[in-house]
Amino acid sequence: MRSYSNPEAVLLDMDGTLVDSDGAVERAWAAWAVEYGVAPAHALADMHGSPAHLTVARLRPDLDAAGVEAAAQRQLDLQYEDLADVVPTPGAVALLAALDRIGLPWAVVTSADDRLAKARLAAAGIVPPLLFTFEDVERGKPDPEGYLLAARALGVDPAACLVVEDSEPGLAAGRAAGAMTASLRGLDADVRLRDLGHLAELLVPDGR
């Protein structure tokens, strides 16, 4: 029987999970909030886990579809070049090394677009075997489409996959896909992780 310590594949979120981009994300949303008349604290409280256009629509429900698209693009533009302090999250390098040693398939599933995802992963020195971004799906998190797509590409039953997330929308997407879930930031999941090094210890308890 598969469990979070014995999955057939690991599906990882990017921002806040595999890559520490919190500083860049917060700077971009704070600047965007000032431009768009939103309280920065409100924007920062609502920025995690969803594609930019869904967050924009929540923060500025008065905007029409074209306005949301333009505002979301402006938000992304603020993030593209801000890579100064983008690094792997604690334990990420150890986890990816462990996955490689035991031959466990993995992929990244992110709400970022292709350009931003590739830029941040490159800045952190991470090269995923498979990357699925917002541009690969019709519906972003909390919809399960991205995780179902990744499981299918790896040839693994979603129920045998472990989804690793740091946001409620991402965890909701994992649950809706039927996957097992592991969380950071103290969120509720099948297993709560201190960091990704903790997951490496669960997957490879003897350190082999």
CATH number at residue 175: 3.40.50.1000
13 is known as an active-site residue: yes
**What is the total residue count of the chain?**
208
Q: What is the pTM of this model?
A: 0.85
Chain centroid offset of residue 20 CA: 11
Domain identity same for 70 and 91: no
Helix 65-80 to helix 22-35 angle, to the nearest 10 degrees?
A: 140
Confidence of residue 49 (pLDDT cuts 50, 70, 90): low
Q: What is residue 70's predicted lDDT score, i.e. its pLDDT?
A: 95
Question: What is the number of structural domains in the chain?
Answer: 2
Q: Measure the CA–CA gap between 5 and 34, rounded to whole angstroms.
A: 44
Regarding whether 102 and 14 lie in a shared domain, the answer is yes
Same domain, 57 and 120: no
Are 42 and 135 in the same domain?
no
Domain that holds residue 169: 9-21+86-203
**The last residue of a domain, from among 80, 105, 128:** 80
Give the active site residue among 15, 82, 113, 166.
15
Q: Is the Cβ–Cβ distance between 17 and 184 less than 8 Å?
A: yes
Do 101 and 139 lie in a common domain?
A: yes
pLDDT of residue 1: 61
pLDDT-derived band at 106, boundaries 50, 70, 90? very high
Q: What is the per-residue pLDDT for 124?
A: 96
Q: pLDDT tens for residues 87-99?
A: 999 999 999 999 9
- Tell me, yes or no, whether 208 lies in a domain: no
Q: Which of 13, 20, 143, 166 is catalytic?
A: 13
Instruction: Report the chain's mean pLDDT, rounded to a whole number.
Output: 93
Active site residue 195: no
Shared-domain flag, residues 118 and 179: yes
- Local structure of residue 4 (DSSP, 8 states): T
Looking at residue 111, its amino acid is: S
Assess if residue 1 is contained within a domain: no
Residues 181 and 92 in one domain: yes
- Once rounded to an integer, what is the mean pLDDT over residues 24-39? 91
